[in-house]
Amino acid sequence: MCPFEVRERSTNSLLQEFLRLERGMMKLLAFVTVVCLFGAATDAAELVPLRIGRPVGGHIHPSACMGKAGTIVVTFGQINHRDLRITRSTDGGQTWSEPTPFQHTIKKTYYPGSLTKLADGRLVHAWNRWSGESVETEPRSVLYSVSNDDGVTWSDPKPFPRDEKVMSVIRHPLVELAPSKWLTSLSDATWIIDAETSIGSEFGDGRKHGLVPIVRTPKGTFISGAGLRSTDEGRTWSEIPRFPNLKEQGWRHEMVCLANGWLLASEILGPGVGGERIRYVVSRDDGVSWGHSFEYYNPGRAIGGRACPRTVPLDERNIGVIFYDVEPNQSGGPALFFLKIAFADLEVGLLPRD
């Protein structure tokens, strides 16, 4: 063999080895780049709540819904039973109007209630009045008002049907069964209320679910915060295994159904009045099982107050949740917060429920 051929082959082998190493380095560099970009994206998606109010204290208990023009409307208690306020966002929760007193409770006592969007785009704000306009004595009862302009103006209040001797309180959104037919779970009754006649009738088997949320899924299934599930318009109910404990403090907790059928129920973990962490317990099978969770608020200390989270679907890709934390020593002091959560982050962040 000619010595030149040996040198040529050696040179070719070295060149091929160099090219192989270069390709390997390029792949490694691409991998590192993806990891760095993923890490940056994860950091960018960190859940940071936005302060939208500075409540003084007491029963802050917010309510929230989205109007027909995409405006997010929120009510909350600024001063316990004395100053019910309303604030609005027209840009998906990025900025908020200065909270102002709700027109129908100015100089009147109240207890916080709920907000609901109807199929025709109107908003229903239901709140609780005490036995008189300037006192805080039982029995409470429910008033409601309707807005056709995303919460800018509100109709004159009307009462829910009631037994004048019994306390009747609302804290959760209505379920619109048909035009003017509203399912509502009150502290004293579970009614179908006819908004045209102001007459209440029993729902399903007539049982009282208590002051807990009730939702209807896209499949027509009803899920009760009492841990019950019905597939026949409430005529019969079955107990849901491992359902989160909403009924013990039903006025505090929430449950919502997203357009894709996912159900989110609130769970607040930790000792004391306010706990230490807030998360969703999630069902992805029409309320049959509740085996996953998603934590969205953990300040690393005790939460000030009951939080009372309320979630609003914003669009196909995002949800927003309103809650409060009145710990005085946190940065900025007591706060009502809005937190926007991308559905993609919710989906990726699901963990097995412990």
Are both 217 and 93 inside the same structural domain? yes
The predicted model gives 212-230 an average pLDDT of 98
Instruction: Judge whether residue 65 has pLDDT over 50.
Output: yes
Interval 230-258: pLDDT, tens: 999 999 999 999 999 999 999 999 999 99
- The reported pLDDT for the residue numbered 328 is 96
170 and 23 in one domain?
no
Cα(67)–Cα(141) distance, integer angstroms: 26
Q: How many domains does the chain have?
A: 2
Does 37 share its domain with 49?
no
Range of the domain at 306: 45-352
Over residues 155-160, the mean pLDDT reads: 98
Quote the pLDDT of residue 34.
35
Q: Are residues 83 and 31 in the same domain?
A: no
Same domain, 68 and 205: yes
Q: Tell me, yes or no, whether 18 and 143 share the same domain.
A: no
- pLDDT in the model for residue 7: 43
pLDDT tens digits for range 81-99: 999 999 999 999 999 999 9
Mean pLDDT for all residues in the chain? 91
**What's the CATH number where 139 sits?**
2.120.10.10
Which pLDDT score is estimated for 257? 98
pLDDT at 354: 85
- What value does the mean pLDDT take over residues 124-141? 97
Does residue 131 share a domain with residue 21? no
Same domain? 33 vs 174:
no
pLDDT at position 57: 87
* 25 and 97 inside one domain: no
Q: Based on the domain organization, do 233 and 110 belong to the same domain?
A: yes
Q: Which of 3-7, 112-116, 215-219 has the lowest mean pLDDT?
A: 3-7
Q: What is the mean pLDDT of residues 30-35?
A: 38
